[in-house]
Structure 1
Amino acid sequence: MKRSSIRQISCGLWEIPRSYRSDMRVPARFYASAAMLEQILSDRSLEQLVNVATLPGIVGFALAMPDIHEGYGFPIGGVAAFDLDAGVISPGGIGYDINCGVRLLATRSSIESVREKIPDLAKEIYRQVPSGVGHGNRLTFSLKQLDQILRGGAPRMVEFGYGEPEDLVHIESGGVLDVADSSKVSQHAKQRGCDQLGTLGAGNHFVEIERIDAIFDQEAAGRMGLFEGQIVIQLHTGSRGLGHQIATDYIRVMNRAMQAYGITVPDRELCCVPFHSSEGKEYFSAMSAGANFAWANRQLITWEIRQAWKSVMGGDPLRVVYDIAHNIAKIETHEIDGQRRQLLVHRKGATRAFSGQPVIIPGSMGTASFVLEGAPGSMRESFGSSCHGAGRRMSRTKAKHMVQGSQLRQELEAIGVSVQAGSMQGLAEEAPAAYKDIGEVVGTVVSAGIAKKVAKLVPVGVMKG
């Protein structure tokens, strides 16, 4: 896409008008600083955003966050809202890793009191939390138990003894989507998930021990129980093989079904069906079950991290600050042209950021992460959404060619970051150089008025598959 096709409409907000392409139903908008434009224009992400703007029943505009980059169908960082009656549901707008998300745990400890034990803690967390491609857990669940988890999410894990009821108060949607139906999840997907609860996986998934480096909003930080110098633990993972298989199964279904509904799309990766169709309802129920699995997964990992903390540090409890989803579709009420309407909001590599809600934005290894709070502007401008991370600016393949994992590990440990990783290639894929500047990404959404900064976190220990 050429720079001349884009116009700036406000601070950090740009628009590709409907006139750009005859099949667009709404404009396409994206958040970015001027310095980010060249990189964003260098891949297909904006053309993908334009493709999203052609989908039936889309409302307002197709939207992307400053961490936008090329994805499957929708760009990663994409947000789109659809009318429930005229609109569609698309797996490409949610992603293969359903409810990939982030949870932040807070301790009562400061860095000064535990600094010498951080390497031991990193080793123990790495031992307690299985990670890596295809790795399962020593804790396995029967198909009957798995069905209960797919319906019941994180609350079911608490009932099984892996957490406290207080945890659920601080999870988006309480850690469960009630519309989930485990019967809409294939046996193959269930078999892939049976031994993967409580596991991290690979790629950009991680557990990270961090200290709070700065507080920007004392009042908001106080509400979240955060203070400068505090040790917190962030974990990032999703629905593992189960979620991937749900996406695979229903992409196949929708590619066959679209013709019957008279739907054509500019990219087959945008396959979709009417939300109220039988296929749409079944996918929504299965996707919700996958989301519940991911919340249950992060709940069980929280239990494992608590075991590691108790073993190394003692009895100081770990409290859930918040748990937020990245890849999900939800029915929400938003104001459109002065009217309150129920919409199906797809967020892919974007997080919900309702006014006053905690928003957790992970950076890359060796850089910062941020805790934000949704600002009132998000409800007016972005369907209550914000960015989800730094966003890739380099493919995993390119990162592996440019970065040596062993050297990166030495560099991280030289600046005081204890590293536990099962693969040096996997470590190289997630090198800081592969990602955009997290400070600039966060600064863009803050300047746009859709979120405000609360705290900056810096890593002291990293655990990866």
Structure 2
Amino acid sequence: MELNGFERLSELEWHLPATDAMRVPVIIYADEALMRDMNDKVREQAVNVAKLPGIVQASYAMPDAHWDYGFPIGGVAAFDPEEGGVISAGGVGFDISCGVRCLHTGLKTQDISRVKEQLADTLFQRIPAGVGSTGAICLDSREMDEMLAGGASWAVQNGFGETADLERIEEGGKMTGADPAQVSQQAKKRQRDEMGTLGSGNHYLEVQRVVEIYDQRIAMGYGLTQDDVVISIHCGSRGLGHQIGTEFLREMAIAAASLNILLPDRELACAPIGSPIARRYLGAMRAAINCALANRQILTHLVRQIFSQLIPQARLPLLYDVSHNTCKVEQHEINGRKRKLHVHRKGATRAFGPGHPDLPPALRATGQPVLIGGSMGTASYILAGTERGMQLAFGSACHGAGRAMSRHQATRLWHGRDIINQLARRDILIRSPSCRGVAEEAPGAYKDVSAVIEVADRAGLAHKVAKLVPLICIKG
């Protein structure tokens, strides 16, 4: 990215002042190397977000930012209904509520060594993954609507998990305001057989080892110690979320002129908060959030069944579940006044600090666990939300490493089978239905996740707690 025009307020904070049609500045958190490695489209898209009506404070980009549809991945923006703020489907994205959950196992690395191959094979056989993957669950119309209204709470009520899981999930496992009636029949049809499936792309299920603890106090609060085995599940709302995003982006773009909205980019299609189309989108998007929460809850249940059969002494309580790609109504202090804002996070993680009332009591002293997935074969991290981060970007942090190249470019450079063999030599077992999918997700196709985490930590967006490395990766 060209850095002309940016004011470097600190080593890790870059401001692009508001000019022309921009209503607020652009703020990017990154070191110089990450800034220069970002595509110029990140700058263009962040500037366009800054032009949207009712945007508050700034158009933010996280250190893993890269360009995407509408908002950049890693984009964060909040809108005030009292100032003509909008809801943008492009500010949420297609994989609504894609997110990560982390499970304890109570095991150490040596506890799984004798069954590692069997565990990898069984997880692969029983966790559906890949493009168009379907599971054993088929929902009828009534069950679909109940799931979209109930989220992970619905899943637990139907035997997929434990009540204790719910307090370790954002929104208590159920997003209020969901309206299944606003979800099209086509979206529901796409999801009917996809509950309890990983999907494809960068989604995964990993068995991981804690290799480093950075903050003993917070790690203890999270129940983490050196050499612990944990499980991370990364997936979202599958075909249903994609269909909702597609439909409402089109509808908002068509309606923009009649709503007196001049779009800086058609991909930023939006509608005024409180307008009929915005209300319908929020109802559908919240239903998709519930779909993603229910999906990860069902996958958790399947993983627990597998571990109970292969390693009976394992116990798999939930550490936490975070969502990316959402728009949520939150209260934040702006210029000394508390305001209810519609916070869009696209490829960004909520990272609430210590004492926040939305955190469960057991985590209120430490701050919210922030789960950051690396690229396949590289490290993942657990961070904690900070008080300072609440003032920087509405309590938001990065969500992953961030792509350094397109999937097409990756397949020209790597072959999936070679990647699988290379990682096997590092004692990382990869199981995937698609060698092309493995090539698309090659470690080299992503930024250095450690560099991204260092920026997030040093900037104060979130605080490093633990580093994880993969032992087994089920890849979609």
Are 2:413 and 1:377 aligned? Answer: no
Which of residues 449, 453, 457 is equivalent to 1:438? Answer: 449
> What is the distance in 2 between the residues matched to 1:122 and 1:233?
12
3-state SS of 2:252 partner: helix
Q: 2:276 corresponds to which residue? A: 278
Structure 1 stretches lacking a partner, 5+ long: none
Q: 1:13 corresponds to which residue? A: 13
Pairing of 1:3-152 with structure 2 (within 5 A): 3-19=3-19, 22-40=20-38, 42-85=39-82, 86-152=84-150
Deviations 1:316-375 (A, max 9, x none): 221110000010000000010011100000000000000010000000122100000011
Which of residues 183, 187, 192 is equivalent to 1:185? Answer: 183
Instruction: Determine if contact 2:256/2:263 at 8 Å carries over to the other structure.
Output: no
Letter in 2 for 1:202: S
> What is the distance in 2 between the residues matched to 1:169 and 1:10?
38
Deviations 1:387-439 (A, max 9, x none): 00000011100001001111110000000001111111100111110111111
Are 2:407 and 1:396 aligned? Answer: yes
Pairing of 1:132-281 with structure 2 (within 5 A): 132-281=130-279
Q: CA deviation at 1:65?
A: 0.2
Instruction: Determine if contact 2:70/2:268 at 8 Å carries over to the other structure.
Output: yes
Instruction: Determine if contact 1:45/1:68 at 8 Å carries over to the other structure.
Output: yes
Letter in 2 for 1:460: L
3-state SS of 2:135 partner: coil
Letter in 1 for 2:381: F
Letter in 2 for 1:330: K
Instruction: Determine if contact 2:351/2:369 at 8 Å carries over to the other structure.
Output: yes
> What is the distance in 2 between the residues matched to 1:209 and 1:138?
23
Letter in 2 for 1:383: F
> What is the distance in 2 between the residues matched to 1:118 and 1:275?
51
Are 2:459 and 1:448 aligned? Answer: yes
> What is the distance in 2 between the residues matched to 1:62 and 1:176?
28
Instruction: Determine if contact 1:11/1:447 at 8 Å carries over to the other structure.
Output: no
Letter in 1 for 2:393: S
Q: 1:338 corresponds to which residue? A: 336
Instruction: Determine if contact 2:79/2:342 at 8 Å carries over to the other structure.
Output: yes
> What is the distance in 1 between the residues matched to 2:107 and 2:163?
23
> What is the distance in 2 between the residues matched to 1:443 and 1:315?
36
Q: CA deviation at 1:261?
A: 1.1
Deviations 1:88-119 (A, max 9, x none): 00011000000000010111000022222122
3-state SS of 2:261 partner: coil
Give the total of aligned pairs.
462
TM-score normalised by the chain length of structure 1: 0.98
3-state SS of 2:256 partner: helix
> What is the distance in 1 between the residues matched to 2:51 and 2:104?
43
Q: 2:359 corresponds to which residue? A: none
> What is the distance in 1 between the residues matched to 2:29 and 2:89?
23
Q: 2:379 corresponds to which residue? A: 368
> What is the distance in 2 between the residues matched to 1:386 and 1:35?
19
Q: 1:460 corresponds to which residue? A: 471
Letter in 2 for 1:369: S
> What is the distance in 1 between the residues matched to 2:323 and 2:133?
23
Q: CA RMSD in A?
A: 0.9
> What is the distance in 2 between the residues matched to 1:451 and 1:37?
19
Instruction: Determine if contact 1:24/1:53 at 8 Å carries over to the other structure.
Output: yes
> What is the distance in 1 between the residues matched to 2:85 and 2:36?
33
Letter in 1 for 2:12: G
Instruction: Determine if contact 2:2/2:36 at 8 Å carries over to the other structure.
Output: no
Q: 1:2 corresponds to which residue? A: 2
Q: CA deviation at 1:11?
A: 3.2
Letter in 2 for 1:454: V
3-state SS of 1:411 partner: helix
**Which moves more between the two structures, 440-449 or 42-51?**
42-51
> What is the distance in 2 between the residues matched to 1:135 and 1:38?
38
**Which moves more between the two structures, 320-329 or 120-129?**
120-129
**Which moves more between the two structures, 376-385 or 343-352?**
376-385
> What is the distance in 1 between the residues matched to 2:35 and 2:325?
24
Structure 2 stretches lacking a partner, 5+ long: 354-366
Instruction: Determine if contact 1:446/1:453 at 8 Å carries over to the other structure.
Output: yes
Deviations 1:107-163 (A, max 9, x none): 100002222212211111111111111111112111101100100100010000100
Q: CA deviation at 1:10?
A: 2.0
**Which moves more between the two structures, 176-185 or 252-261?**
252-261
Which structure 1 residue ranges, 4+ long, deviate > 4 Å from structure 2?
Answer: none
> What is the distance in 2 between the residues matched to 1:169 and 1:18?
41
Letter in 2 for 1:57: G
Instruction: Determine if contact 2:2/2:40 at 8 Å carries over to the other structure.
Output: no
Q: CA deviation at 1:315?
A: 4.2
Letter in 1 for 2:344: H
Instruction: Determine if contact 2:349/2:370 at 8 Å carries over to the other structure.
Output: yes
Letter in 2 for 1:424: C
> What is the distance in 2 between the residues matched to 1:440 and 1:248?
33
> What is the distance in 2 between the residues matched to 1:186 and 1:171?
26
Deviations 1:178-231 (A, max 9, x none): 100000000110111111110000000000110000111111111111111011
